[in-house]
Amino acid sequence: MDIYFYNTLTHSKEKFKPIDENEIKIYSCGPTVYKDATIGNMRTNIFQDNLRRTLEYNGYKVKQAMNITDVGHLVSDGDEGEDKMIKSAKQEGKTPLEIADHYTKLFFRDLERLNIEMPEIICKATDNINDMLKVVEELVKKGFAYETSTAIYFDISKLDKYPVLSNLDVEKQKAGARVNVDTEKRNPQDFAVWIKAPENHLMKWDSPWGPSYPGWHIECSVMSQKYLGEVFDIHTGGIDLIPTHHENEIAQSKGMCGKIPAHYWMHGEFLLIDGGKMSKSLGNVYLIQDIVNRGYDPLVYKLFNYSTLYRKKLNFTWDGMDSAKISLDRLRDAYQKHINGTYDIDDSELEKYEKQFLEAINDDLNMPVAMSVVWEVAKKPEKSKKIAKLLRKFDRVLGIKIDKSKTDEIPEEIKELLELRKKAREDKNWDESDRIREEIKEKGYIVKDSKNGQTIEKA
């Protein structure tokens, strides 16, 4: 079945045509590891997970590369301010390396908690400095970049078109250029590909221009080319990356090889909190850890994301999380009821649902419609093993562990008591069995006996 994606490059939904049918190559802009990733950042990662899982569901092999920005991302997202890594290191009294290690670990822990598939390639900016330096030298040699007293800038006037993704009006921006714009820049839109390090700067490397470090945008251009080739299938990121980071990546790649690096550019919209921006001053910056601390399974948050298209704003509220929790519990319960069901549902009916589900995900990852199909299947009054199997298949895209039963969350201590009770029943020691049942009850769980053995749920 055909797949359609909204392509920011053409501002339209397009039929997806892979470069190589055998492997789809995706580059996803990863985190700048100077602080905790928020649930907003994780929304973008959930969208990227849906994308790769959808391609895999369609039978494609995926090669996804994600960078870890551990140098060069300045506070302004442009060419101004301190390096975010260094600022954070100073604030926390650590080295930039310690900061990067710490937040990278936490980032991957969150991906795991959200059951997000790991990209095949994880590349750190600081591991690829030499490759970046070579490209910058090349850009200077070709006349696409020039030196000033502070940096090496990319000259956007050397391109046939800039910008290509966004609707930035360069002429208007030129006229109203910001007062603090670097006067040595040839064009206000020129951006730094390489930055000269001030004295005592913590992260710097030798270069023809003295001790210096890479700009944020060059990292992604160089690493995507190195790991996926000059042109790959899909480039992803959050919507905020369009006007600066991705625009500049395209500019650099055109300077490097004359090509736009990806055929499809896909961007996830922002998560709002209580209808507004997430911000420290409002005290509403939430992490996956906050979700865990409030007693939710992190996958409740993943399911919560499926209520809206990835290209639409999503408003986070704790009430919304409560509804998503009820939904996840109901879905998992419904699945458990189908596992041993004996109803022989007609294959053609299942095929109909499977087709509807595939149509939804292939229509630019339409998760709300896909979920409505999942619910229709799960809610079938006739209990059937075949339905359970289909739900497991859908979960290859959803990644919400639909087959996780309530017993999965049972503490070790209760599991041990269950084992002892099982042994007592095998020995026909009914008094002991009843005693253990009571002990389990006092600890907040209810044991039931069925022909398949003991089942347990929270009281």
Footprint of ligand AMP on this chain (CB under 6 A)?
A: 31-32, 40-41, 43-44, 237-238, 240-241, 268, 270-271, 278
33 binds Zn ion (CB under 5 A): no
DSSP 175-202: HT--TTS-TT-SSTT-EEEEEEPPTT-S
Please, which residue, 146 or 270, has the CB nearer to ligand AMP?
A: 270
Please state the closest distance from residue 335 (CB atom) to ligand AMP, in A: 29
3-state secondary structure of 421: helix
220 binds Zn ion (CB under 5 A): yes
Please, which residue, 3 or 29, has the CB nearer to Zn ion?
A: 29
Please, which residue, 305 or 366, has the CB nearer to ligand AMP?
A: 305
Distance, CA of 213 to CA of 127 (rounded, Å): 12
Residue 41 interacts with which of Zn ion, ligand AMP, none, CB < 5 to 8 Å by class? ligand AMP
Q: Which residue has the tokens 């009294």?
A: 93
- Draw the binding track, 336-365, toward Zn ion (x: CB under 5 A; -: no contact): ------------------------------
Please state the closest distance from residue 45 (CB atom) to ligand AMP, in A: 8
Residue 86 pairs in a beta bridge with none
Please, which residue, 60 or 72, has the CB nearer to ligand AMP?
A: 72
Please, which residue, 50 or 248, has the CB nearer to Zn ion?
A: 248
Contact at 8 Å (CB) between 382 and 342? no
3-state secondary structure of 146: strand
Distance, CA of 46 to CA of 302 (rounded, Å): 7
Residue 137 interacts with which of ligand AMP, Zn ion, none, CB < 5 to 8 Å by class? none
- Draw the binding track, 127-146, toward Zn ion (x: CB under 5 A; -: no contact): --------------------
Please, which residue, 57 or 270, has the CB nearer to ligand AMP?
A: 270
* Cβ-based neighbours of 174, under 8 Å, separated by 6 or more: 187, 188, 189
DSSP 8-state assignment for residue 363: B
Angle 306-335-377 (CA atoms, 0-180°, nearest 5)?
65
Please state the closest distance from residue 32 (CB atom) to ligand AMP, in A: 5
Please, which residue, 233 or 269, has the CB nearer to ligand AMP?
A: 269
Distance, CA of 363 to CA of 381 (rounded, Å): 29
Please, which residue, 29 or 136, has the CB nearer to Zn ion?
A: 29
Q: What are phi and psi of 147, to 5 degrees?
A: -95, 140
Residue type, 120: E
Residue 251 interacts with which of ligand AMP, Zn ion, none, CB < 5 to 8 Å by class? none
Please state the closest distance from residue 241 (CB atom) to ligand AMP, in A: 5
Part in contact with Zn ion (CB under 5 A); list of ranges 84-92, 214-222, 364-372, 451-459:
214-222
Q: Which residue has the tokens 């992490």?
A: 287
How many CB atoms within 10 Å of residue 341? 16
Run of H or E residues at 13: strand 12-15
CA 279 to each of CA 10, 272, 284, 304, 374: distance values in angstroms, whole numbers, following the listed order: 32, 10, 6, 21, 35
Please state the closest distance from residue 284 (CB atom) to ligand AMP, in A: 11
29 binds Zn ion (CB under 5 A): yes
Residue 119 interacts with which of ligand AMP, Zn ion, none, CB < 5 to 8 Å by class? none
Residue 220 interacts with which of ligand AMP, Zn ion, none, CB < 5 to 8 Å by class? Zn ion
Site of interaction with Zn ion (CB under 5 A): 29, 220
